[in-house]
Chain A
């Protein structure tokens, strides 16, 4: 079972060197224990572009699709047998990156 662990943050500040080091340790652990699927940090919301191609032609809009105080700063996709394991890993991830995270199951 795969879970999306979204990193939620309220500024565009990048991880500090200490945070990055802690994230690296956590990532190594995810890989060693077979939970790792994928992970990445995202650029600031202001670097986003929205495309809507449901109509006649693609509409391109500058900026994020949703203006909000908190936004997605990065994510992990982890493999875990159940939510208890996923929550434990997410708690460690939150500690490592020093940010709030949201755990959501894939269908």
Chain B
């Protein structure tokens, strides 16, 4: 096999096997820290050995065996004075687990990393490290924090899991819906940080993060195929990702939905997203918020252009969403659809009612600015653009808002 071929095989093994290896080792040794370090060492060994020895026929089994040896070495080093019996137990810990159980192992890992007793940012970091296999340096870069700080956050999280005995298991049926929604919140946050990256020095769209979020959501979908919200979140991500390249211009400016080149949308992702939305509609179960958001996205991606969009359907879906989650952000997005259905004046009245809760949110001001512009109220529009630009963190959005403001008469 060529050098490039081996490198490709290692990358593929990393994508496919990392979570499996970490999950299997965590189960076996009862320690996330040991599992993570041993998995990292096993992959480093693969990078060293596979070019010379060739890629093993079953990379996952090779990596798990290599990682288990590394873990046993570490535990032995740490327990030098422990009695011989304990060491023997580590070496002969019973028959190997049946292959079918391994998928559950990864679910255990995901639920542990997304445990509600951990802070949201910690859950995100831990999930990207333990399940996604990103390095601490990569995660630190993604969230614009120093590597040492990110390393400490992950180390503290592992220590808390161990000391407070956060269980390594799939939650009981009674707790499952709430815990799955916690996992999905983590994945959606990763996706959104990629989709609308913040910070002056970052790319407006961080494809690495959106791709990782989709990959992890696909994994959960494979593990929990019956869960409607998992399917909904995956569909939402796919339908959003499909528009990624059309969303930012060559000059790095945000392109709004009405100006996007719909021919540049990714037809395969849209087809997959639509399939998932149809599957959920056919299920006949009341949809949760991700399924409704995906359905809204499906309406947009089914339309040839803005005028062809079924805005009454969009507004109806936002109404349904608002009943589940009466948040001002949903009310803001509903108002944007109302502007297309009933005109900017009606929408502006709805938006203005949100001032007390959304005055610090850039999208509130950007929406107002656009509606005021369409109503010919240039001076008010300019002030709203100024406020939106001041609050926006995404470089493409800032560029778009600035151009719009400067075009005002």
Contacts and interface: CB of A to CB of B under 8 A. Distances in A.
A83 interface: yes
Interface string A96-107: 000000011101
Contacts of B164: 3, 83, 86, 103-105
B167 interface: yes
A81 B164 CA distance: 10
A1 interface: yes
Interface string A72-107: 000000000111101100000000000000011101
Interface string B264-307: 00000000000000000000000000000000000000000000
Interface residues of A, number: 12
B165 A105 contact: yes
Contacts of A83: 115, 117, 164-167
B126 to A, nearest CB: 15
A103 B164 CA distance: 9
Nearest to B115: A83
A82 B167 contact: yes
B163 A84 contact: no
Nearest to A1: B165
A63 to B, nearest CB: 31
Determine the main DSSP class of B at the interface with A.
loop
B171 interface: yes
Interface string B76-99: 000000000000000000000000
Chain A, interface SS category: mixed
Contacts of A1: 165
A86 B167 CA distance: 11
Interface in A1-25: 1, 3
Contact of A105 (B115, B163, B171, B175): B163
Contacts of B166: 82-84
Nearest to A107: B163
A104 B165 CA distance: 10
Interface in B63-119: 115-117
Contacts of A81: 165, 167
Contacts of A103: 164
Contacts of B165: 1, 81-83, 105
The winner among A81, A84, A103 for most chain B CB atoms within 10 A is: A84
Interface string B163-189: 111110001000100000000000000
Contacts of B117: 83, 87
B20 to A, nearest CB: 24
Contact of B167 (A3, A84, A104, A107): A84
18 contacts: A3-B164, A81-B165, A82-B165, A82-B167, A83-B115, A83-B117, A83-B164, A83-B167, A84-B166, A84-B167, A84-B171, A86-B164, A87-B117, A103-B164, A104-B164, A105-B163, A105-B164, A107-B163
Given A3-B164, A81-B165, 17 more contacts: A1-B165, A82-B165, A82-B167, A83-B115, A83-B117, A83-B164, A83-B166, A83-B167, A84-B166, A84-B167, A84-B171, A84-B175, A86-B164, A87-B116, A104-B164, A105-B164, A107-B163
Interface of A: 1, 3, 81-84, 86-87, 103-105, 107
> Which 8 pairs, one residue from A and one from B, show the smallest C-beta to C-beta distance?
A82-B167, A105-B164, A82-B165, A83-B164, A83-B166, A1-B165, A105-B163, A84-B167
